[in-house]
Amino acid sequence: MDFRHESVLLEEAVEGLRIRPEGIYVDGTLGGAGHAKRVCGELSAKGRFIGIDQDQDAIIAASRRLEEYKGNTTIVRSNYCYMVQELEKLGIQKVDGILLDLGVSSYQLDSAERGFTYREDVALDMRMDRRSEKTARDIVNGYGERELLHVIQGYGEERFAKNIVRRIIAYRRDKPIETTGELAEIIRDAIPMKYKKTPGHPAKRTFQALRIELNRELEVLQDSLEDMVKILTPGGRICVITFHSLEDRIVKNIFKKCEDPCTCPKDFPVCVCGKKPLGRVLTRRPILPSPEEMEENRRSKSAKLRIFERGE
């Protein structure tokens, strides 16, 4: 299967980067290189592009797609949380722009063997980096009741999380849950009949929660976003596309903190903490896909783009 992924908010994100032809740009979630190809197309021979992804399939596909730009392109297999370290290995201390597209790729969702899907019966996997040993199967069968509830309720925002967890615990007393089909059926049985008729698959939120937990998606974002802002050159920008309310909240809060890091009590007449703003938020409200894009690509409907610009 080809690595196919429709890049969401493509024009808006690339425009948001305000690309300087001779600048250095990083895509921390390279995927199929949809955004990356557009960025590379705006760089001069003196510009430089670094693409980072932890998925080997993405690395192969992106390398092929960016072949014409290989003279000033470097592709690294890593998690974007190691961006600063990976750039240091390349002798790069500062960059002019960073892009993160935090959505799971269409390729990963549609490749049944990757185990992200609830529409086919395959081994429970969900690893974005297949070098990792831990899979979704380990979470479903190994987490205690309280841990599972935290994941499904917290990351999936699933209203029937307690019912689902009870069903999982009961089922695995007899045998481990091995496949996506088994888990989807357990979830379906836990949902009250009248809610099964509502749009969307009943397993969607639980599968999303397990994927987020397994790949540490929120933790990685929380721990690394501010460091990315700090390596931007003056006037450099970071564009982040999220697909989940918890991701968006993290981005919004960290950007806000970078703009106003002062920790002094509000009634202090002057700042004494000494913390200086790193720049400014350019998106008071997130940029959303157009109605046309939402119509053409249903996976874009939950997308939100936020942009931060480094101070001079």
* Residue 234 shares a structural domain with residue 303: yes
Q: Are the beta carbons of 32 and 65 closer than 8 angstroms? A: yes
* Residue 195 Rama label (left phi>0; alpha psi -120 to 50; beta): alpha
Residues 15 and 49 in one domain: yes
10-residue stretch averages of pLDDT, the chain, 312 residues long:
71 98 97 95 97 94 96 97 98 98 79 88 94 97 98 96 98 97 96 82 94 96 98 98 96 97 88 92 97 91 97 90
Residues 6+ apart with CB under 8 A from 270: none
Considering the domain architecture, whether residues 231 and 102 belong to the same structural domain is answered as yes
Q: Each residue of 3-41: pLDDT tens digit?
A: 555 789 999 999 999 999 999 999 999 999 999 999 999
Domain stop point among 214, 233, 254: 214
Query: In this structure, which amino acid lies at residue 39?
Result: V
Quote the tokens at residue 28.
């921390």
Q: pTM higher than 0.85, yes or no?
A: yes
What CATH number corresponds to the domain at position 151?
A: 1.10.150.170
Same structural domain, 230 and 290: yes
Look at residue 120 and tell me if it is in a domain: no
Q: Which amino acid is at 107?
A: Y
76, 86 Cβ separation under 8 angstroms: yes
- Does residue 99 belong to any structural domain of this protein? yes
- Do 102 and 16 belong together in one domain? yes
Read off the tokens for 201: 């698959």
Which token pair is 140? 């479903």
Q: Is residue 16 part of a domain?
A: yes
The secondary structure of 205-260 as a DSSP string is: HHHHHHHHHHTTHHHHHHHHHHHHHHTEEEEEEEEEEE-SHHHHHHHHHHHHHHH-
Say if residues 66 and 41 touch (Cβ distance below 8 Å).
Answer: no
Look at residues 198, 214, 230 and tell me which one is the last residue of a structural domain: 214
Q: Which of 171, 197, 214 is where one domain is finished?
A: 214
Same domain, 147 and 289: no
Q: CA 205 to CA 156: how far, in whole Å?
A: 5
Domain interval for residue 273 = 10-107+217-310
Residue 1 maps to a domain: no
Cα–Cα distances (Å) from 68 to 10, 42, 65, 71, 160, in that order, read 20, 13, 8, 8, 50
Question: What proportion of the chain, given as a percentage, has pLDDT over 90?
Answer: 83
Contact 112, 120 (CB under 8 A): yes
Give the CATH number of the domain where residue 81 resides. 3.40.50.150
In a domain, 254, yes or no: yes
Query: Both tokens of residue 102?
Result: 């935090």
Number of domains composing the chain: 2
Sign of CA dihedral 132, 137, 143, 145: positive
Q: Is residue 122 included in any domain, yes or no? A: no
Instruction: Quote the pLDDT of residue 2.
Output: 52
DSSP 8-state assignment for residue 119: S
- Residue 292, Cα to own-chain centre: how many angstroms? 23
CA-based torsion, 83, 125, 158, 296: positive or negative: positive
| Same domain as 150, residue 25 | no
